[in-house]
Amino acid sequence: MTGLARTADPSTKVLVILDSEQHVPTSLLGLQADLQLTSTSVAAYSYDADSCNFFGYPVPFSDLAAFAPYTQFARAAYCPTSKLTNWTCGAACASLPGFQPTLVGGDGNLVQIYFVGYWPAQDSVVVAHQGTDPTMLLSVLTDANIVKGSLDKKLFPGIPSNVQVHSGFRDAHARTAVKVTVVGHSLGGALAQLDALYLSLHLPTTTSVKARTYGAPRVGNEAFANLLDSKVSDLKRIHNKRDVIPIVPWPFLKFMHAQGEVRILSPGTAIACSGQDNDIDLQCQRKAVPIIAAGSILDHLGPYEGIRIGTIFCN
């Protein structure tokens, strides 16, 4: 495998050799020193000789650490609504001082808990959804009889009928749909993707929509993934190690992930995977966890850079 490292000067190119596991060699640091490059000015990319495409690259530690506030929002969505209303949900709320919840709802059963509020630190409205018990979600998502359905024309105007999503996610979103930064873990991550599309269709085009999801399953078909990519340019789907939830529902059922995969390999180390549902790079989720038996349900709960997400971690 070969890769290309670029400096801030686009005229300078450096060829980097990656090992069989596609890790950036430590010699790259020496190369940076020799060329007097800053740590952020070199990026190493895996390269597929057959398709002539770059398909994965290490995520800088600073970028990985920057996900922490979004992780805490996703964590907070598992807390009781009484604690979210006053923003007193323990460590998650304490890590996000100044956040002002304006709408809190859901019961954690029929309707997933959700909250909406203003985040002064980023001058952004935040929409967050609770997830669900991963063992229950996994059993639902591995059902070969999963039903896909078209999106509600009233909520998603102008969307062609060939855009289809998991009918359960669609119905759950309709019960909670109310700049937006949308976050969610597990089922909440699926709802956050629908939120991102919904808001991109209803807000002025000058409004940016950012989505950060954790351990989200596939939501819809290829047409849905294409549409989401075309409408929401700032989407990051964060997967932790061998989490099994992101690999379902199965591709043979015509489900597909949108772009934006970031897979945590170990604390402080992650890879960004190019394209939709990357099935080339051995370090991306689809190749690394090809079947349920190769995965871990515990990785679904984290840690996401030291932060675990789930009802038991709301403290």
User: What integer pLDDT is reported at residue 112 of this predicted model?
Assistant: 87
CA distance 231 to 211: 11
User: What integer pLDDT is reported at residue 146 of this predicted model?
Assistant: 59
User: What integer pLDDT is reported at residue 22 of this predicted model?
Assistant: 43
User: What integer pLDDT is reported at residue 151 of this predicted model?
Assistant: 67
CA distance 73 to 129: 9
Is 44 in the same domain as 161? no
Is 258 in the same domain as 119? yes
User: What integer pLDDT is reported at residue 17 of this predicted model?
Assistant: 39
- The partner residues of 117 in beta bridges, in order of sequence, read 101, 126
Q: Across 11-25, 67-81, 100-114, which has the greatest mean pLDDT?
A: 67-81
* Domain limits for position 105: 63-313
Is 68 in the same domain as 91? yes
pLDDT, tens only, 51-103: 444 457 899 999 999 999 999 999 999 999 999 999 999 999 999 999 999 89
Whole-number Cα distances in Å, 35 to 19, 32, 43, 78, 104? 22, 5, 14, 48, 53
User: What integer pLDDT is reported at residue 269 of this predicted model?
Assistant: 95
Is 39 in the same domain as 85? no
Is 188 in the same domain as 219? yes
Candidate list 129, 166, 239, 300, residue with the active-site label: 300
pLDDT, tens only, 141-180: 545 455 677 767 666 766 677 777 666 656 766 655 447 8
User: What integer pLDDT is reported at residue 162 of this predicted model?
Assistant: 77
Is 80 in the same domain as 206? yes
CA distance 1 to 281: 11
Q: How many domains does the chain have?
A: 2
3-state secondary structure of 143: coil
CB 285 within 8 A of CB 295: no
Is residue 63 annotated as a catalytic residue, yes or no? no
Examine the fold and report which residue of 18, 36, 58 is the final residue of a domain before the chain moves on: 58
CA distance 207 to 69: 21
Q: Which amino acid is at 14?
A: V
User: What is the band of 268 on the pLDDT scale with cuts at 50, 70, 90?
Assistant: very high
Is 255 in the same domain as 218? yes
Q: What is the mean pLDDT of the chain?
A: 80
Candidate list 46, 186, 200, 274, residue with the active-site label: 186
Rounded to 5 degrees, φ, ψ at 174 are -60, -25
Whole-number Cα distances in Å, 19 to 3, 25, 52, 274? 10, 7, 18, 19
Is 291 in the same domain as 207? yes
Is residue 300 annotated as a catalytic residue, yes or no? yes
pTM: 0.74
Above pLDDT 90, what percent of the chain? 59
* Structure tokens that stand for 243 in this block: 């989490």
Does the pLDDT at position 49 exceed 80?
no
Is 172 in the same domain as 23? no
Is 48 in the same domain as 104? no
CB 60 within 8 A of CB 40: yes
CB 105 within 8 A of CB 158: no
Is residue 208 annotated as a catalytic residue, yes or no? no
User: What is the band of 33 on the pLDDT scale with cuts at 50, 70, 90?
Assistant: very low
Candidate list 195, 243, 277, 281, residue with the active-site label: 243
Residue 29 or 186, more confident: 186
pLDDT, tens only, 55-69: 578 999 999 999 999
